[in-house]
Homo-oligomer: A and B are copies of this chain.
Amino acid sequence: MRVRLTIEYDGTAYAGWQRQENALAVQQVVEEALRKLTGHEHTITGASRTDAGVHAFGQIAHFDAIGRIPAEKYAYALNTVLPDDVRIRASQEVPDDFHARFSAKGKWYRYCIYNDAHASAILRNTHAHVMYPLDIEAMRREAAYAVGTHDFNAFAASGSVVKDTVRTIYSVEVEKHEQKVEIHVKGNGFLYNMVRILAGTLIGVGTGKLEEGAIRRALETGSRLDLGMTAPARGLTLMEVYYNA
Which A residues form the contact surface with B (CB < 8 A)?
8-10, 55, 57, 75-76, 79, 84-89, 116-122, 124, 126, 237
Among all A-B residue pairs, the 4 with the closest Cβ atoms: A87-B121, A8-B121, A10-B122, A9-B121
Query: Is B121 a contact of A84 with CB atoms below 8 Å?
Result: yes
Query: Is B84 a contact of A124 with CB atoms below 8 Å?
Result: yes
Q: Which of B10, B117, B122 contacts A121 (CB 8 A)?
A: B10
Query: Which chain B residues border A75 with CB–CB below 8 Å?
Result: 117-118
Can you name the residue of chain B whose Cβ is closest to the Cβ of A89? B118
Query: Is B88 a contact of A118 with CB atoms below 8 Å?
Result: yes
Query: Is B122 a contact of A8 with CB atoms below 8 Å?
Result: yes
Query: Which chain B residues border A118 with CB–CB below 8 Å?
Result: 75-76, 79, 87-89
Query: Which chain B residues border A57 with CB–CB below 8 Å?
Result: 122
Cα–Cα distance between A115 and B121 once the two chains are bound (Å)? 24
Can you name the residue of chain B whose Cβ is closest to the Cβ of A82? B121
Query: Which chain B residues border A9 with CB–CB below 8 Å?
Result: 121-122
**24 intermolecular pairs with C-beta atoms under 8 Å apart:** A8-B120, A8-B121, A8-B122, A9-B121, A10-B121, A10-B122, A10-B124, A57-B122, A75-B117, A75-B118, A76-B117, A79-B118, A79-B119, A84-B119, A84-B121, A84-B124, A85-B124, A86-B121, A87-B119, A87-B121, A88-B118, A89-B116, A89-B118, A122-B126
Of A76, A79, A86, A87, which is in contact with the most chain B CB atoms at under 10 Å from its CB?
A: A87
Query: Which chain B residues border A8 with CB–CB below 8 Å?
Result: 120-122
Cα–Cα distance between A79 and B119 once the two chains are bound (Å)? 9
Q: Which of B85, B88, B121 contacts A85 (CB 8 A)?
A: B121
Query: Which chain B residues border A126 with CB–CB below 8 Å?
Result: 122
Cα–Cα distance between A57 and B120 once the two chains are bound (Å)? 9
What would 13 more interface pairs be, CB under 8 Å, given A87-B118, A122-B237? A9-B121, A10-B121, A10-B124, A55-B122, A76-B117, A84-B119, A84-B121, A84-B124, A85-B124, A86-B121, A87-B120, A88-B118, A89-B116
